[in-house]
Amino acid sequence: TKKTETHTFQAETRQLLDIVIHSLYTDRDIFVRELVSNASDALEKLRHTQLTGESIYDEKLPLEVNISTDDTAGTITIQDYGIGMTHDELVENIGTIAKSGSKAFASALKEAKESGSDPLNLIGQFGVGFYSAFMVADEVRVYTHSYKEDGENLVWISDGMGEYRIEQTEDSQRRGSKIVVKLKEDAKEFAQKSKIEEIIKRYSSFVQFPINLNGDRVNTIEALWLKNKNEIKPEEYTEFYKFQANAFDEPRHTLHFSADAPLLINALLFSPKENIERFGFGRTEPGVSLYCKKVLIDDKPEGLLPEWLRFLRGVVDSADLPLNISRESMQDSALVQKLNKILTGRFLKHLATEADKNPDAYTEFYDQFGIYLKEGITTDFTHKDKLAKLLRYESSLSEPGKRTSLADYVSRMKEEQKEIYFLYAPSRDSIESGPYLEAFTARNLEVIFLYEPIDEFVMNHLNEFEGKKLVAADSADVSLEDTDSSPEHKLTEDEQKDLSKWLKETLGDKVTDVVVSKRLVDSPAAALNSDKMMTPSMRRIMKAMNQ
């Protein structure tokens, strides 16, 4: 007997479907790419399972993707012999949204549009690929049979409106999944072989498995990362990045290298053009995939790179990895730590070179991704010093909008100057009109300007740079020499004492001390920070937390 069950989509899923269908309508082509990339993912997962020695249903089937178009029936079918899905996986993986949900997606989309970013970039990152089929479909059917020996023959059916149903099917199915897309009246072009061929050539040329279209092979399989650099055209890198990162922007940095000591590796790393965490998505997942001799071991390996490099995309292939390494044991394997060290070192070196040779391009990168470098300084002790060299700030000597490195600051320091000074405020204006800067300007001392609260944490974590202490210019223990522009004191010593005493009594608990100072030039008084551990922005944060 055949079992049918009907499910309703969660409200979140329904909204998301609605957004995907309507806001991305102009780029309907991409559903082909999304379904092919799911087929390829399913094959990668199967290949990995094979290596672990688990027994597999229909073991002998070839690892390939078969696409067929039928312009009489108005359908396109994408079929793979990958891992397939069990009943619960069908419900969980394609009946539900895995990530942060439709609200986050909708607001991210809005923001992306406002800032002129390509909204397409978001679908890939959001994992709503499968739903893109509903842009062109009246109905989508997913026939599937899990690789597990006790898998059932199942079909998932939906018109993408409010419900889906799952049925057991009688027809004997092969392992894997077959997605049948019944095309809408206005989307019949996707039942044309030539149209699909063109889309596959454009979007899916790096799929690591054969793709057959109506029985003909349409792709050549290439592991770009193993090829010689000299044989690769820039546009091939771009295409590969788009394919591998499921992205629509262009890579900002492309770093392709190989090494044979201490490990044999081939790596192809990209930094994206845009920082998508900016759109309020929450944390991006790590995106550098780990391969062993062209076989995918893990597409989001934890620990392959430090957390603060989670924005990197690409591929690392190491022939030294044991093929059957499990994802769990990999996380803390010494091999992965070695890879981490090599990759991080190479990328940092690449950034240092960029900053030196192409400062403008580096500034653009820094605007998007500087926040990650700062995160690195506060969380990753090993790379702190190299990261510190990559910081860029405005200063009292820089033009507005122009930034300096700490190294350049140090090179401008006068011999007597022992410390690097910084001031935090939300903007240049508020620093320049505040009472703290004048004392330094009057003494020709450069001050670094910090505009983000995290920058104070960064300075605290660094504590020093090239042996020079980093000191907040509003802290009480900065001692400055008298200058010619320090005004004569108009009050006698007794009057000074009385005024200080009166101020202290009046202000009470609000201050720890009131002192006469020659530090100020024009301002009558300034509050100085006596607590080295508690900077003003930390105080603001504590206050916000009601502490």
State the residues that interact with Mg ion by CB under 5 A: 38, 129
Burial class (CB in 10 A: 0-12, 13-18, 19+), 488: exposed
Backbone angles phi, psi at 138, to 5 degrees: -80, -30
Say if CB 233 and CB 243 are below 8 A apart: no
Measure the CA–CA gap between 450 and 452, rounded to whole angstroms: 6
Residue, CB closest to Mg ion: 129
Name which of Mg ion, ligand ADP, none residue 211 binds, using a CB cut-off of 5 to 8 Å depending on partner kind: none
Residue 93 annotated as lining a ligand binding site: yes
Name which of Mg ion, ligand ADP, none residue 473 binds, using a CB cut-off of 5 to 8 Å depending on partner kind: none
Find the shortest distance in angstroms from Cβ 126 to ligand ADP.
8
Nearer to Mg ion, 130 or 257 (CB): 130
Find the shortest distance in angstroms from Cβ 291 to ligand ADP.
18
Sign of CA dihedral 116, 120, 126, 131: positive
Nearer to ligand ADP, 204 or 535 (CB): 204
Find the shortest distance in angstroms from Cβ 437 to ligand ADP.
50
Q: Beta-strand (E) ranges in 98-219?
A: 137-145, 154-158, 163-168, 176-183, 211-213, 216-217
Residues in the site for ligand ADP, rule: CB under 6 A? Answer: 34, 38-39, 41-42, 80, 82-85, 93-94, 127-130, 177
Name which of Mg ion, ligand ADP, none residue 85 binds, using a CB cut-off of 5 to 8 Å depending on partner kind: ligand ADP
End-to-end CA distance of the chain: 64
Find the shortest distance in angstroms from Cβ 175 to ligand ADP.
10
Residue 8 three-state SS:
strand
Find the shortest distance in angstroms from Cβ 42 to ligand ADP.
3
Measure the CA–CA gap between 330 and 296, rounded to whole angstroms: 13
Name which of ligand ADP, Mg ion, none residue 376 binds, using a CB cut-off of 5 to 8 Å depending on partner kind: none
Residue 218 annotated as lining a ligand binding site: no
Residue 34 annotated as lining a ligand binding site: yes
Find the shortest distance in angstroms from Cβ 454 to ligand ADP.
30
Nearer to ligand ADP, 34 or 298 (CB): 34
Say if CB 470 and CB 422 are below 8 A apart: yes
Nearer to Mg ion, 129 or 306 (CB): 129
Residue 125 annotated as lining a ligand binding site: yes
Measure the CA–CA gap between 343 and 305, rounded to whole angstroms: 7
Name which of ligand ADP, Mg ion, none residue 151 binds, using a CB cut-off of 5 to 8 Å depending on partner kind: none
Say if CB 122 and CB 115 are below 8 A apart: no
Nearer to ligand ADP, 299 or 394 (CB): 299
Residue 114 annotated as lining a ligand binding site: no
Nearer to ligand ADP, 251 or 287 (CB): 287
Residue, CB closest to ligand ADP: 129
Pairing state between β 211-213 and 419-424: unpaired
Sign of CA dihedral 379, 385, 387, 393: positive
Task: Give the Cβ contact number of residue 285 at 10 Å.
Answer: 12
Residue with tokens 């069908």: 90
Identify which of 358, 378, 342 has the alpha carbon closest to the alpha carbon of residue 463. Answer: 378
Residue 84 annotated as lining a ligand binding site: no
DSSP run (H or E) holding 110? helix 102-114
Structure tokens at 239: 């295409």
Cα 348 to chain centroid, rounded: 17
Find the shortest distance in angstroms from Cβ 34 to Mg ion.
5
Nearer to Mg ion, 158 or 405 (CB): 158
Pinpoint the alpha helices (H) of 204-333.
234-244, 327-331
Structure tokens at 282: 């929450």
**CA–CA distances in Å: residue 211 to residues 43, 65, 78, 165, 416:** 12, 5, 10, 29, 70
Measure the CA–CA gap between 463 and 465, rounded to whole angstroms: 7
Find the shortest distance in angstroms from Cβ 130 to ligand ADP.
3
- Residue 310 DSSP label: T
Find the shortest distance in angstroms from Cβ 32 to Mg ion.
12
Nearer to ligand ADP, 98 or 515 (CB): 98
Residue 460 annotated as lining a ligand binding site: no
Pinpoint the alpha helices (H) of 131-281.
193-203, 234-244
Nearer to ligand ADP, 129 or 314 (CB): 129
**Which residue ranges make up the annotated binding site?**
34, 38, 80, 85, 93, 99-101, 125-130, 327
**Which residue ranges make up the annotated binding site for ATP?**
34, 38, 80, 85, 93, 99-101, 125-130, 327
